[in-house]
């Protein structure tokens, strides 16, 4: 059973998810704001989703962003449906940031873990970037997830290391 601080942290993460859904899917879906770097990521993702390769100049943009964005476009097409799929993916990645930050902080800084979840869940920049196809949202989500999983794996040995991704309320 999770302690009181874990319940507050989880409530913060869930409230942050609701805020991100309202912002990134209802009020400010990224598909309505395709300009600057976002437009370039979308253009590259559309090319990848249709089977065209990347060009040399594409190396100057973080490749993971347009490769990741190409996944929903491959499934749903390169027009609005694919962009909506990308918007939902970016919203999910943005919502994962407070969760993974909390889980990592809980391993390293137990007393501050709840505050980490609370601040990450409601930090305006994390929320705002969920409504844009930028490289910051997936990179931060994957960075925190890998740090958390890596630290858990170091703490464990053998088959236990494979279970580093256990449910949030089960302990560490």
The domain spans of the chain are 4-170
Cα–Cα dist 90/87, whole Å: 5
Closest by CA to 31, choosing from 77, 97, 95, is 77
Indicate if the pLDDT at residue 103 is higher than 50: yes
Indicate if the pLDDT at residue 146 is higher than 90: yes
Indicate if the pLDDT at residue 162 is higher than 60: no
* Residue in this structure with the two tokens 């302990």, named with its chain if needed: 171
Q: Are 80 and 73 in contact (CB under 8 A)?
A: no
Write out the two tokens for 148: 């958390």
Q: What is the pLDDT of residue 1?
A: 41
Tell me the pLDDT of the chain averaged across its residues.
87
Q: What is the pLDDT of residue 54?
A: 79
Cα–Cα dist 131/30, whole Å: 5
Rounded mean pLDDT, 144-153: 92
Q: 160: pLDDT confidence band, cut at 50, 70 and 90?
A: low
> Highest mean pLDDT: which of 36-40, 44-48, 161-165?
44-48
Q: Are 130 and 23 in contact (CB under 8 A)?
A: yes
């Amino acid at each position: 059973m999770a302690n009181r601080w874990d319940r507050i942290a989880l409530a913060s993460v869930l409230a942050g998810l609701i805020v991100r859904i309202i912002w990134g899917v209802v009020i400010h879906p990224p598909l309505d704001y395709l300009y600057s770097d976002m437009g370039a990521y979308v253009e590259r993702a559309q090319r990848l989703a249709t089977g065209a390769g990347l060009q040399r100049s594409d190396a100057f943009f973080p490749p993971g962003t347009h490769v990741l964005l190409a996944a929903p476009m491959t499934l749903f097409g390169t027009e609005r449906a694919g962009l909506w799929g990308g918007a939902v993916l970016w919203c999910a990645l943005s919502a994962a940031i407070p969760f993974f930050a909390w889980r990592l902080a809980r391993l390293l800084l137990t007393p501050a873990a709840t505050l980490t979840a609370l601040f990450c869940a409601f930090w305006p920049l994390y929320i705002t970037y969920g409504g844009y196809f930028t490289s910051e949202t997936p990179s931060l989500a994957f960075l925190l997830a890998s740090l958390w999983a890596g630290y858990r794996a170091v703490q464990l040995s053998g088959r236990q290391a494979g279970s580093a991704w256990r449910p949030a309320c089960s302990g560490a």
